[in-house]
Structure 1
Amino acid sequence: MLELKLAMYIDFPSHMKPGILITCSDDIELYSIGVTETVTFDKPGFTALAHPSDLKIGTTHGVFVLDPSSFSGKGGLEYTSCHRFLHKPDIEKMRQCGAVCIRQNCSQLSSSGDHSDSEMDSECVYTDSIFYIDHNIAKLLLAFYNQIDTLGCEIDAYGDFLQALGPGATQDYTKNTSNVTKEESQLVEVRQKLYSLLKGTALNVIVLNNSKFYHIGTTEEYLFHFTSDSKLKFELDLLSVAFSIFSDKAETLDRSASIIQSILEPGCFIGPGSIIEYSRIGPEVSVGNNSIISGSYINLKVDIPSDCFLSSLSIKMNNQVKYVCSTLSESVRMSLKLLNSVQRMSAFKLSGFKLLSVEEMLTYKDVEDMLKFRKQIYEEICLQRPKEKSDL
């Protein structure tokens, strides 16, 4: 994903003044502009990319209320300003604030009121993806952070920064915690301070009318875009098997499975609609349909259920890498037994195991050990691929 992001943004640095570009790790933005046009980040304050989206998409993303005096909606690329930024608003809120556009290339800002079904089908809003902070604002935010002894709450770079921007911004959002996973006591206070700090700062918008925004952050979205006949798969020309060792004797039901930097040993069976990434699958492994296997070494006779997500996580405690059981292989077996019990709604005894919360797992996660495993797979693939080519 990092390589894809770098490839997508390869032209940005040469058209960017000193500053910071912020992006999410689970989205992909594709766009088309004229040969002589460029996406340039050179204005003071914040500058964000905007993409036309259905109103339903807008309820789960940030939505721009564009300034009608500077926005025409014509062409594939347009520089404009944002009057106000809405964070995951409902459709009624979008209409009230004037964020809804009529889909004539999303060229006209609509007024609030009653809408027919045919008109609703032609409506859109402009949603967020990446944004740029100029150097002066970055220094301002750093100074703000240094003034706080301890930041005891989570600050959202999108919701808590962008909602403070533009001439139409109000501080009402600072007390709205409906989209917060865990509300900390300091949250409202810090939000209000950020609002005071950023109030009046410009939010410039680069409208990309010929663009598409893909979110792959959930397992459902990931499976859909990488295994089905999706538009994203077609537009990026994604391969079903990418940088992997895939023996003719390793079976699949169809080509809907996606294999990414993995080793599939002869005799294994990969179900349709499944993703195998950064893993080694042994000869007696049968993988169910629509499942994700990530960063795992499975070398035992086992049937992996359908619709599951299996990922190995290295835990380092007291300077020792630990597994659920004494070995990685036995840990996988035990995890699959637990998964089967959950699916069958049957009892599973956890006595004798040390239980960790997700927070504890993230605290003790041994990233180096996990990357070491990936590197081993990478090196083995590099060694075997030249041999495969010479045998052709």
Structure 2
Amino acid sequence: MTDAERIRSASRRRLRNFQKLRGKEVTPGEFWDIVVITAADGRQELVFEQQISNKLQSNELPLGVRYHVFADPLGPKIGNGGSTLHALHRLEELYEDKLDSFNILLIHAGGYSQRLPSASALGKIFTALPLGIPVYQMLELKLAMYIDFPTHMKPGVLVTCADDIELYSVSETEAICFDKPGFTALAHPSSLSIGTTHGVFVLEPGRVQGVQKELEYKACHRFLHKPSVETMQKSGAVCRAGHGVESGGDTEMDFVYTDSVYYFDRPTAKRLLAILGEIGTLGCEIDAYGDFLQALGPGATSDYTKNTANVSQEENQLVAHRQKIFNCLRGTALNVAMLNNSKFYHLGTAQEYLHHLTTDVTLRAHLGLLSDPGGLGQLCPESSGQVPCIIESLVGPGCDVSPGSVIEYSRLGAGSCVGTNSIVSGCCVRENSTIPPNTFLHSLCIPGGFVTVMFGTGDNLKYTVPSPLETHKLRLLGLDFREAAVRLGLKISEHLFSDSGRIRLSLWNVRIFPTPRATAEDSVASVLEMFEALNGKSVHRLPDDVKLLSIEEILQQKDVMRMLNFRKQLTEEINQRRQTREKIN
């Protein structure tokens, strides 16, 4: 059996085992005692709680587990490290000494997914995948892939993020054990270029060169956070494989072990709580990887506490907080479980999302992803090439959905055409409509009706400029924003941007979307008509009394219950059609 076949076999087994637990009461020790999902604020907390409640009622999750959503406290952003400390504090308030016997999964899902806006309203941990009936979302996939962990873990916390997938195989006689004091992290062989954007483990000396077994344990001497290639080489992080890593080649090449998920035991959790007690109110972003793991291992130094190169916004308190973390965790062990036959996937951006669901043959084979899991879109099933991906959607007759595009929770009217590399999410599209290539189209419910937003799948909604004079640096659907504004008949000023008092202007807060329409079809049609001007020479003129909204403002007004009801009705109709077809066949 090849390495890829072993990962596929192991992943399919975990999916089957999780499927058996969906809607079933789990016994103590069989599964997680507590699953915590972090949220950016109180509004997001309510959205997440509602979706978990719906899943429990629909028997999509194991029962008998304590599911919690914890919103970050009001005030400045605190990062996933701050969210970790805050979640530990909330758990301590709720369970006290009972935590001494609990296995806890902590999933960081806060933030508004500006790089994949289709996940902004309902959360990236609830991103749907072309897998399973009822359809899996990222939450179910994570629970499935980690299904073996709780039974081989001492009481403590496993920390993960909402938008990545870890697949791996180990021998039939082995299991990944989280039973050592301190921290234990999973490590994946990766190219040096990937290492520059991840955390990298510098292993204790003595490792034999080349991959030995699928699972190996090693003490980590030092952890590097997004290091340069030169730093990796000088620090001794680079290993040599007898075959290509991440490339499928057969020549020798250098590689490093990069991070993903990590665990810490109950005594270490208490030490982290002591850090929070010492800091008090968090006033800046703390990273759960860079700021915690760089303090671990015998080779750790405090130099990183002053390095703000990888920090998006330096805060006055950041260095002081890092120093407190370092002092508290110094001397704590960092153990590494090296998964030598593993794959790490990140779905946090529109391009990654499209690639992994429509083009990545390996992921599709490992998990058994289908082009159309509902089987109602009349599209090709799993295949070796690039495919369209249809998730919980109804595609009318005569539709042409190009390979490389994703349709989720949507209705496409008969004869509609979707260009390649596009995302259509939550939309009702009229018959014979055309959605251009490289288009992101997403409908949301707000008071008064439906609003549809449209961007390019390659647009950077997070990129900011300091003033209207520099908005030419923003690009909307491939156009210089100043040119796009002229074609849309818009006048560029600070008033065109929501919350412009921040003096940071971006596509995220530009007001270019008309106020809601009564029907979802009208909303999509109006925005498609409006944006046709970007591809032509004519100027689109909006009536003077039309109010424009930014996606930032739309999300602040979102009607979550109506959006969830729309999804529910769509799923019910899909199930009815599936059952009817099965009876006929």
The answer for the alignment partner of 1:111 in structure 2 is none
**Retained in 1: the 8 A contact 2:243–2:251?**
no
Equivalent residue letter for 1:355: L
User: Residues 71 and 340 from structure 1, CA distance in 2 versus in 1: closer, same or farther, beyond 3 angstroms?
Assistant: farther
**Retained in 2: the 8 A contact 1:101–1:123?**
yes
C-alpha distance in 1, partners of 2:331/2:450? Answer: 51
> What percent identity do the matched residue pairs reach?
54
The answer for the alignment partner of 1:129 in structure 2 is 260
What 5-or-longer segments of structure 1 have no aligned partner?
A: 107-117, 249-253
Alpha-carbon offset, residue 86 of structure 1: 0.9
User: Residues 356 and 196 from structure 1, CA distance in 2 versus in 1: closer, same or farther, beyond 3 angstroms?
Assistant: farther
Equivalent residue letter for 1:124: F
2:570 to 374, 377, 381: 377
**Retained in 1: the 8 A contact 2:168–2:339?**
yes
C-alpha distance in 2, partners of 1:373/1:339? Answer: 25
User: Residues 339 and 39 from structure 1, CA distance in 2 versus in 1: closer, same or farther, beyond 3 angstroms?
Assistant: farther
User: Residues 160 and 314 from structure 1, CA distance in 2 versus in 1: closer, same or farther, beyond 3 angstroms?
Assistant: farther
Equivalent residue letter for 2:396: E
2:311 is the alignment partner of 1:212: no
Alpha-carbon offset, residue 340 of structure 1: 4.2
User: Residues 181 and 223 from structure 1, CA distance in 2 versus in 1: closer, same or farther, beyond 3 angstroms?
Assistant: same
Q: TM-score, normalised by structure 1?
A: 0.85
User: Residues 312 and 137 from structure 1, CA distance in 2 versus in 1: closer, same or farther, beyond 3 angstroms?
Assistant: farther
1:33-112 equivalence runs, <5 A: 33-69=170-206, 74-104=212-242
The answer for the alignment partner of 1:175 in structure 2 is 306
C-alpha distance in 2, partners of 1:238/1:262? Answer: 16
C-alpha distance in 1, partners of 2:403/2:289? Answer: 37
C-alpha distance in 2, partners of 1:262/1:380? Answer: 10
1:275 to 388, 395, 406: 406
The answer for the alignment partner of 1:32 in structure 2 is 169
**Stretch of structure 1 that moved more, 135-144 or 73-82:** 135-144
C-alpha distance in 1, partners of 2:560/2:263? Answer: 29
2:392 is the alignment partner of 1:200: no
Higher relative contact order (CA 8 A, sep 6+): 1
User: Residues 299 and 30 from structure 1, CA distance in 2 versus in 1: closer, same or farther, beyond 3 angstroms?
Assistant: same
Alpha-carbon offset, residue 48 of structure 1: 0.5
Equivalent residue letter for 1:388: R
Alpha-carbon offset, residue 245 of structure 1: 2.7
**Stretch of structure 1 that moved more, 150-159 or 45-54:** 150-159
The SS at the match of 1:242 is coil
**Retained in 2: the 8 A contact 1:300–1:329?**
no
The answer for the alignment partner of 1:331 in structure 2 is 523
Q: How many residues matched?
A: 373
1:62-116 residue CA offsets vs partner (Å, 9 max, x unmatched): 110011246775211111111111111110110111100011479xxxxxxxxxx
C-alpha distance in 1, partners of 2:449/2:178? Answer: 45
User: Residues 24 and 287 from structure 1, CA distance in 2 versus in 1: closer, same or farther, beyond 3 angstroms?
Assistant: same
2:271 is the alignment partner of 1:140: yes
1:305-384 equivalence runs, <5 A: 305-315=436-446, 323=451, 324-327=515-518, 328-337=520-529, 339-342=531-534, 352-356=546-550, 358=552, 360=553, 363-384=556-577
Equivalent residue letter for 1:122: M
C-alpha distance in 2, partners of 1:69/1:346? Answer: 69
**Retained in 1: the 8 A contact 2:243–2:250?**
no
What 5-or-longer segments of structure 2 have no aligned partner?
A: 1-137, 380-384, 452-514
User: Residues 368 and 90 from structure 1, CA distance in 2 versus in 1: closer, same or farther, beyond 3 angstroms?
Assistant: farther
**Stretch of structure 1 that moved more, 83-92 or 338-347:** 338-347
Q: TM-score, normalised by structure 2?
A: 0.58
C-alpha distance in 2, partners of 1:190/1:272? Answer: 48
Equivalent residue letter for 1:21: L
Equivalent residue letter for 1:296: C
User: Residues 310 and 171 from structure 1, CA distance in 2 versus in 1: closer, same or farther, beyond 3 angstroms?
Assistant: farther
**Stretch of structure 1 that moved more, 62-71 or 4-13:** 62-71
The answer for the alignment partner of 1:227 in structure 2 is 358
C-alpha distance in 2, partners of 1:339/1:310? Answer: 11
The answer for the alignment partner of 1:112 in structure 2 is none
Alpha-carbon offset, residue 228 of structure 1: 2.0
Alpha-carbon offset, residue 153 of structure 1: 1.9
**Retained in 1: the 8 A contact 2:242–2:251?**
no
User: Residues 22 and 368 from structure 1, CA distance in 2 versus in 1: closer, same or farther, beyond 3 angstroms?
Assistant: farther
Alpha-carbon offset, residue 279 of structure 1: 1.7
Equivalent residue letter for 1:128: D
C-alpha distance in 1, partners of 2:202/2:538? Answer: 51
RMSD: 3.0
C-alpha distance in 1, partners of 2:362/2:537? Answer: 37
Equivalent residue letter for 1:84: R
2:420 to 265, 268, 289: 289
C-alpha distance in 2, partners of 1:332/1:312? Answer: 7
C-alpha distance in 2, partners of 1:345/1:75? Answer: 62
C-alpha distance in 1, partners of 2:426/2:524? Answer: 12
C-alpha distance in 1, partners of 2:233/2:251? Answer: 11
The answer for the alignment partner of 1:110 in structure 2 is none
**Retained in 2: the 8 A contact 1:284–1:299?**
no
C-alpha distance in 2, partners of 1:105/1:246? Answer: 41
**Retained in 1: the 8 A contact 2:444–2:450?**
no
Equivalent residue letter for 2:299: G
Alpha-carbon offset, residue 295 of structure 1: 2.4
Alpha-carbon offset, residue 241 of structure 1: 0.8
The SS at the match of 2:259 is strand
Alpha-carbon offset, residue 345 of structure 1: 9.1
**Retained in 1: the 8 A contact 2:242–2:252?**
no
1:8 to 145, 167, 171: 145
Equivalent residue letter for 1:2: L
2:493 is the alignment partner of 1:299: no
User: Residues 369 and 48 from structure 1, CA distance in 2 versus in 1: closer, same or farther, beyond 3 angstroms?
Assistant: farther
**Stretch of structure 1 that moved more, 31-40 or 306-315:** 306-315
User: Residues 332 and 192 from structure 1, CA distance in 2 versus in 1: closer, same or farther, beyond 3 angstroms?
Assistant: farther
**Retained in 1: the 8 A contact 2:240–2:252?**
no
